[in-house]
Structure 1
Amino acid sequence: MQWDDMRVFLAVARVESLSRAAPTLRMDAATVGRRIARLERQVGAALFVKSPQGYALTDLGVRMRDHAAEAEASLGLAVEEARGDQIGLSGQIRIGAPDGAANYLLPQVCAAIGADNPGLEIQILALPRVVNLSKREADMALTVSPPQAGRLIVQKVSDYRLHLAAPKGADITTRDDLRGRRVVGYIPDMIFDKELDYLGELGAGGVQLASNSVAVQAMALRAGAGVGIVHDFALPFAPELKRVLIDEVSLTRSFYLVRHASDRTSERLTRFSEALSAGLKAEIARLERQVA
């Protein structure tokens, strides 16, 4: 069994699809399928259950994925040590994040880190769900709740604030002024973290215009669709909006940076996570000062 076969296996295991794994591997889907079939023959058992929805891991496949991911991490550490100390970071690092952070924070922070490390390739994975680090969907992830399970390293990055926002022409000085106004927010059954459920804080009975993306919500508010909860750090990008009922509707949430425990000894990922955390904290503070 060759490591290159395990590399193909891991790529398919992470995305559960031959066609989605193929571009990453720089192969066509048919070649990826043949490589998986060859690996299963070598193992003597099925590693995937194939269906119209994709390739789901069997129990054996899950165990093999976990061992292969650890081997991949160890190989990465060996490469780091072979390179020795270097001035800048290099290689590819992928960060998973909810789309609020992915849209309004990570581009600036990652651009600054990239400018200091020309050999580094940074990928921002924006998902309306929790990123699965055990499947190695990303090297690290930002979350709004600290995970309670799994072999993970969890570090609090920063608090951030959210307020009720409306178009600048809206006359809203009391809660009574909210009556009859349309509410913009999350699609209720697609809220993937309890910290994103803002309706209780707002006291609204429902959402009349909903999206699973906070960027889409902000654009709807800018178009005059109603009122909604907006990150303070997003407001500098939405000059048509203003905060309303600031003292009555004020939320504080937190970002956490999460890494797989097997990456604890990776100097490269540790250095990147330190730069990322510091950059995020500073950027949140900078943007929030603009609307204070």
Structure 2
Amino acid sequence: MNWDDARYFLAIARAGQMLGAARRLGVSQATLSRRLATLEAALGDRLVERTPRGSPLTEAGQAFLATAERMESAALAGVAQLGHPGEAVAGTLRLGAPDGLGGAFLAPRLGRLRAAHPGLRVQLVPLPRNFSLSQREADVAVTVGRPERGRLRTRKLTDYSLGLYAAPGYLAARGHPDRAATLADHDLVGYVDDLVHTPGLRYAEEFWQGWRSCVEVSTAIGQLEAVRAGAGIGALHDFMARGQDGLVPVLPELRAVRSYWAVWHEDLRGSRRVRACLDFLDAAVSEDRAAFLRPVAGTGAG
């Protein structure tokens, strides 16, 4: 049995189907099936069911999964230790981030990372509701708040603030609230409650305890666009909303504060790609730190 065959098995286990695994690996389904058959022959057992609806693991496959993941961890740790100072950073880097930070802030700056490391292939992906660094769904993830469990390393990137915003046309028609309680008289825009996957995103009630959204959008960018189109008043990321045409601050004395953290798996602690990504994140955030944290109205300080 060789590690490369086990790597193909892991891709199937994580994708849940042959086609998705083949796409992730950049190979044909025929190649993937052949490598899986080689592994199964070496182990003397069937690891994956072949069905029209997917490729679930057999009982033997479930038992082998933990072994394959240990092999992967050992291989990644060994590769990371082979790096030498000054050696070019190359290969694929997958960076996971919340949609607001990823789409509005990181995406326009990815060219800098590629310019510094031309051999790097960069993938920016929105974080799903549940993601696993141990299963390599991302090499580095940016999370809201610091994860407390798992074999993870973390680095705080920045605090960021959120404030209330509305479209000029909406305020002209419905009036400006003069205190938090008067938000009861307004249409409010927020997250789809049962799709909020982390407590850090439950900030609307910090602006007003009675917050009840009448327009619910599951992404930060979608909420901003709904508010700009006049759907109501929303709690938006200040680094996305400040200075945007078509958005006016509402009750600027109110704000919520959260933190972004960079997170990566312990096995990748020596990876040159991960180090390059962390350096990029640190530099990008440091350069625009003032945009992330809005001073409280009337204080002149954050």
Alpha-carbon distance in 1 for matches of 2:17, 2:282? 33
The answer for the alignment partner of 2:285 in structure 1 is 280
Say which is worse superposed, 120-129 or 1-10, in terms of deviation: 1-10
| Pair 1:262 & 2:292 matched | no
Shift of 1:156: 0.8
- Of structures 1 and 2, the larger Rg is shown by 2
The answer for the alignment partner of 2:214 in structure 1 is 208
The answer for the alignment partner of 2:248 in structure 1 is 242
> Equivalences for 1:1-292 in 2 at 5 Å?
1-48=1-48, 52=53, 55=56, 58-77=61-80, 80-81=83-84, 85-86=86-87, 88-169=88-169, 170=171, 171-202=176-207, 203-236=209-242, 238-247=244-253, 249-286=254-291
**2:154–2:262 CA contact under 8 A, matched in 1:** yes
Alpha-carbon distance in 2 for matches of 1:53, 1:145? 35
Report SS of the residue matched to 2:12. helix
Closer, same or farther in 2 for the Cα pair 1:47/1:80, shift >3 Å? farther
Give CA-to-partner distance per residue, 1:135-178, whole Å, 9 cap, x none. Answer: 01111100012111111101111100101111134123323442
The answer for the alignment partner of 2:300 in structure 1 is none
The number of aligned residues is 288
**1:97–1:124 CA contact under 8 A, matched in 2:** yes
Report SS of the residue matched to 2:83. helix
Say which is worse superposed, 130-139 or 2-11, in terms of deviation: 2-11
Shift of 1:242: 1.9
Amino acid paired to 1:77: A
Closer, same or farther in 2 for the Cα pair 1:226/1:128, shift >3 Å? farther
Closer, same or farther in 2 for the Cα pair 1:204/1:72, shift >3 Å? farther
Shift of 1:207: 1.9
Give CA-to-partner distance per residue, 1:226-265, whole Å, 9 cap, x none. Answer: 1111000111474211221121x31110001011111112
**2:159–2:293 CA contact under 8 A, matched in 1:** no
Alpha-carbon distance in 1 for matches of 2:244, 2:43? 55
Report SS of the residue matched to 2:133. coil
Shift of 1:90: 2.4
Amino acid paired to 1:194: P
Amino acid paired to 2:69: D
Alpha-carbon distance in 2 for matches of 1:148, 1:48? 33
TM-score by length of 2: 0.84
**1:97–1:131 CA contact under 8 A, matched in 2:** no
Say which is worse superposed, 50-59 or 261-270, in terms of deviation: 50-59
Alpha-carbon distance in 2 for matches of 1:55, 1:142? 30
Alpha-carbon distance in 2 for matches of 1:135, 1:283? 32
- Which is strand-richer, 1 or 2? 1
Alpha-carbon distance in 1 for matches of 2:23, 2:296? 42
Shift of 1:266: 2.5
Query: 5+ unaligned residues in a row in structure 2: which ranges?
Result: 298-302
Shift of 1:291: 12
Shift of 1:12: 2.1
Alpha-carbon distance in 2 for matches of 1:204, 1:32? 54
Closer, same or farther in 2 for the Cα pair 1:63/1:181, shift >3 Å? same
**1:187–1:210 CA contact under 8 A, matched in 2:** yes
Amino acid paired to 1:278: A
